[in-house]
Amino acid sequence: MRFVVLVKQVPDTTEVEVDEETGTIIREGVPSTLNAFDEFALNAAVDIKEKTEEEVEIIALSMGPPQAEETLNKCLAIGADRAILLTDRAFAGADTWATAVTLSRALKKIGNIDLIFAGQEASDGNTAQVGPEVAAHHGLPQVTYVSEIEEVDPKEEYIVCKKERDEGHVRIKSDMPAILACMPDPGFEPKIPNVREIMKAKKKPKEQWGIEELDGQEDDYGLEGSESVVVETYSPPPKEEGIKIEEEPEKSVDELLKFLDEEGIL
Amino acid sequence: MARTDLSDDRELTEEQKLFKESISDWAERNLPLERVIEMNREGYPFPEDIIQGLAELGVIMGPVPEEHGGMGLTWKDQIAIAEQIGYIDPSIATAAGFMAVETGWGFTLNRYCTEEVRKKYIQPAIKGEKFVGIATTEPKGGSDVAGFESTAEKEGDEWVLNGEKTFISGVEECRRMGGGYWVNVRTGPQIEGAPHKNMTSFFVPIDADGLEPQEPYDDAGRGSLSTSGFIMEDVRVPEEYMLGEKGKGFYHTMEGFDLARIMIGASAIGVTRRVLEEAADYIKERETFGKPLAKYEGIQFPFVERYTEMEASKLMVKKVADMADTRYDEEGWVERTGKAQTYKPTEIAKWISMIKYKVPHLAKDTADDAMHWLGAAGYSSEYIFETAWRGVMSYCVGAEGGANIQKIVIGRETLGKDYVPYK
């Protein structure tokens, strides 16, 4: 079986700063890390590989600047067998559509894929769009909010996974190939690669693909290939302090009605 | 407010960055500062789950060649690991037991042992299943490495050892896990003016008949790792347990000291960085007279002085690790004659002594400063500073060679042999 895991390098901080002029995230000087949802997706793929008797190749695929190679090194240490970085000036400034186009063309070039794993969303943009868009490009079944993969049957070509929903979870059986957008349970602890695995990863194959390796025109990619434009990026103003009425029930209702009346709400 | 991060790893290789990241991720789950403080308070033995975890992480004896069960890491790889171990455990117990003793000494032990000892003891120690250590100090002295009294006499195919070793790290852990020690004995008469001659090293299993472990001491710091000693009464070991050559024990031992001292220098950098980061988080938040403590020059200036010293020390440790990578091979420390390869082994020893003297003191002084900056909070064991201070003090006063011994080496190499105090 061949699995491809889509991974993204994201800023390793909860305090993202935005360039006021361009509206883009300031990445200079901010440490980067592997997107946590993608790390879970990769762990899920590695788990299957470790448990199955089938031969499995795991390819970590990322689009980003050359420094995103750091993230791929970590993927190789966790258990990916091969890594491909899609990097080209022409890919810069891509929205989710252009990103999905680029990834989809790379996936087509890789070929013979049984399962595509993606994180449910990335911690920097939180759009949750790329996985489903890739599925649409390839006409593949997709399962989102996957918290567990229970069964993979390459002979009968189906998988069974657990999909999280607000009211609980559902078990879904899907044909293969398929794309799984994964989301970890809160208690999930990713695999920590050890020194031996890190050293072994150094010898695993890594490739960089640019526009020349993929089909299409330059304006299919990056900013030019994007369907959406960021008009403004801003941090929402903090909520104003609320009013707390601490009276007995009967009196508090009166207080509330009085307040709503004064504010002209009623 | 974001947590202070004083690491600057941009010059590290991708692999070294990942080593550090894995150690931090592992510590977040298994060895947070609260547990370090608790372990230090509860005392020995060092918890087995931590030993197992370190072994699974692959941080014990990394430079041992792959064909011997190690990972063939460079010494620059290993200082990145040792620094991060000091960072996650500023009580220095982990660094003492598993970087200095098991890794620095373990490497040399592996280098001079026979295949039998390697299979029975070294390889299980790499897997966290056994403990190997070093026992050089005796009741009559430790700094004077050649001034010991233990002896060994040959009887048939065996050597019979007698004597006492004291202030030894990890005896209790070794007793519980199995393993043994690098032990120096005299295999011939002590020669006037050349006490290092006739000194031979052996590997002695902790469970050997006639070896009696002593009660651990109640040390000031690094409480989670035991320190004690053992008495040897007619302890018999086979010829295969001799390390290296008969009569060359002094030279083999100094190699072990050199490598262990590099590990300690790197670990003490990690301790210093953790102390500075933890202190920075506090002094930026805590206000007095309406301003954060960090705004006061009485606090900010010593803080930046320690930080600057730490970065300078980091360069020194890196230089020494580079020497180990380029000038330490199957011949031991070698003098290379090509361009830029002009260090004599004794000059390398000087550099190693400089880091062993300087960096633990820097870590201890930084913890001392931090306690002053935080006042009563800094003195409390709720914070890491007093635990770090007590732990790293062990590397100022003695372990792997006290500060004054390092100064003698530095003085010998700078002022000349005519000025060594012991002649």
Task: Using CB atoms within 10 Å of the CB of residue A100, give its burial: 0 to 12 exposed, 13 to 18 middle, 19+ buried.
Answer: buried
How far does Cα B232 stand from its chain's mean position?
25
Q: If you ran DSSP here, which 8-state letter would residue A25 be given? A: B
CATH of domain B14-131: 1.10.540.10
Contact residues of B toward A, CB < 8 A: 2, 5, 14-15, 17-19, 21-22, 25-26, 29, 56-59, 62, 71-73, 81
Q: At the topology level of CATH, where does B253-419 sit? A: Butyryl-CoA Dehydrogenase, subunit A; domain 3 (1.20.140)
pLDDT computed for residue B215 by the predictor: 92
Q: Would A230 be classed as within a structural domain?
A: no
Query: With an 8 Å Cβ cutoff, is A15 touching chain B?
Result: yes
Q: Helical H runs in B46-170?
A: 48-57, 75-88, 93-94, 106-112, 115-117, 123-126
Cβ–Cβ contact A28 with B under 8 A: no
A79 — contact with chain B (CB < 8 Å)? no
Q: B381 CB contacts (<8 Å, ≥6 apart)?
A: B37, B41, B387
Considering its fold, how many domains does chain A have in total?
Answer: 1
Verify whether the Cβ–Cβ distance A194 to B57 is below 8 Å: yes
CA B57 to chain A, closest CA, distance in angstroms equals 4
Find how far residue B303's CA is from the centre of its chain.
26
Q: Which of residues 187-206 of A touch B (CB under 8 A)?
A: 189-190, 192-199, 201-202
Q: Would the CB atoms of A13 and B2 count as touching at under 8 Å?
A: yes
Angle at CA of residue B95, ends B367 and B8, nearest 5°: 65
Give the Å distances, CA to CA, from A17 to A12, A34, A35, A95, B335.
12, 19, 18, 19, 53
Helix, strand, or coil (residue B195): coil
Give the residue carrying structure tokens 């700094």: B143
**pLDDT tens sequence across A92-113:** 888 889 999 999 999 999 999 9
Flag whether A244 is in a domain: no
Among A222, A13, A231, which Cα is nearest to A123's?
A13
Closest in A13, A15, A192 to B25, CB measured: A192
- Helix (H) / strand (E) containing A138: helix A130-138
In total, the C-beta contacts within 8 angstroms joining chain A to chain B are 48
Copy the structure tokens of residue B256: 């072990």
Q: Nearest 5°: CA angle at B279, between B278 and B280? A: 90
Is residue B280 within 8 A of residue B371, CB to CB? The reply is no
Q: How close does chain A come to B423, measured CA to CA in Å? A: 46
Q: Is there a contact between B256 and B104 (Cβ–Cβ < 8 Å)?
A: yes
Instruction: Say if CB B54 and CB B235 are below 8 A apart.
Output: no
Question: Which chain B residues are closer than 8 Å to A190 by Cβ?
Answer: 25
Is-cis flag, bond preceding A65, omega within 30? no
Q: How far apart are CA B247 and CA B154, in angstroms?
A: 13
User: How far is it, in rounded angstroms, from Cα B301 to Cα B305?
Assistant: 6
Sheet with A206-209: strands ordered across: A168-175, A158-165, A142-153, A178-182, A115-119, A2-7, A57-63, A82-86, A206-209
**pLDDT recorded at residue B341:** 55
Could you give the C-alpha distances from A69 to A4, A8, A60, A72, A124, in angstroms and in order?
16, 10, 11, 5, 18
Domain span holding position A34? 2-220
Provide the CA B309 distance to its chain's centre, in angstroms.
20
CA of B53: which chain A residue's CA is closest? A194
Which of A195, A196, A200, A204 is the mutation pick for testing B, counting most B CBs within 10 A? A195
B-chain residues near A70 (CB < 8 A): 14, 17
Going B113 to B118 to B124 to B130, the CA torsion angle's sign is negative
Is B62 in Cβ contact with A77 (below 8 Å)?
no
Chain B residues with CB-CB distance to A197 below 8 A = 58
Residue B160: pLDDT above 90?
Answer: yes
Q: Is A246 within the bounds of a domain?
A: no
A12 to chain B, any CB pair closer than 8 A? The answer is: no
Residue of B nearest to A75 (CA): B18
CATH 2.40.110.10 maps onto chain B at 132-243
Distance of CA B44 to the CA centre of its chain: 18
* Residue A68: CATH number of its domain: 3.40.50.620
- Quote ipTM for the complex: 0.90
The 10s digit of each residue's pLDDT in A21-47 is 666 667 677 788 899 999 999 999 999
Q: pLDDT tens digits, residue range A32-90?
A: 889 999 999 999 999 999 999 999 999 999 999 999 999 999 999 999 999 999 999 99
Shortest CB distance from A194 goes to which of B29, B56, B73?
B56
Q: Percentage of residues in chain A with pLDDT exceeding 70?
A: 96
Please answer yes or no on whether B73 and A195 come within 8 Å at the CB atom. yes
CB contact under 8 A, A199 and B21: no
Q: Which residues on A lie below 8 Å from B62 (Cβ)?
A: 195
Least confident of A120-134, A173-187, A194-208, B261-275: A120-134
Q: Render pLDDT for B321-372 as a digit per residue (tens, 0 to 9).
A: 998 888 777 666 665 555 555 677 788 889 999 999 999 999 999 999 999 9
Q: Do A199 and B73 touch (CB under 8 A)?
A: yes
Strand, coil or helix: what is A127? coil
Taking residues A249-261, report their average pLDDT: 89
Domain with CATH 1.10.540.10 in chain B: 14-131
Quote the pTM value: 0.89
**pLDDT at position B75 over 60:** yes
The matching CATH number, chosen from 2.40.110.10, 3.30.479.20, 3.10.690.10, 3.20.20.70, for B132-243 is 2.40.110.10
**Are B58 and A196 in contact (CB < 8 Å)?**
yes
Element (H, E) at B151: strand B151-155
- Tell me how far apart the terminal alpha carbons of chain A are, to the nearest angstrom: 64
Contacts of B58 in chain A (CB under 8 A): 194-197
Angle in degrees, CA B42, B48, B53, rounded to 5: 120
Across the interface, whether the CB atoms of B58 and A195 are under 8 A apart is answered yes
Q: How many CB atoms lie within 10 A of CB B24?
A: 14
Identify whether A73 is part of a domain: yes
Interface test with A, best of B9, B18, B26, B71 (most A CBs within 10 A): B18
Q: Please list every residue in chain A whose beta carbon sits closer than 8 Å to the beta carbon of residue B22.
A: 192-195, 198
- The boundaries of every CATH 1.20.140.10 domain in chain B are 253-419
Name the residue facing B62 among A193, A195, A201 (closest C-beta): A195
- Is residue A207 situated within a structural domain? yes
Judged against a pLDDT cut of 60, whether residue A152 lies above it is answered with yes
Tell me if A255 is assigned to some domain: no
A253 in a structural domain: no
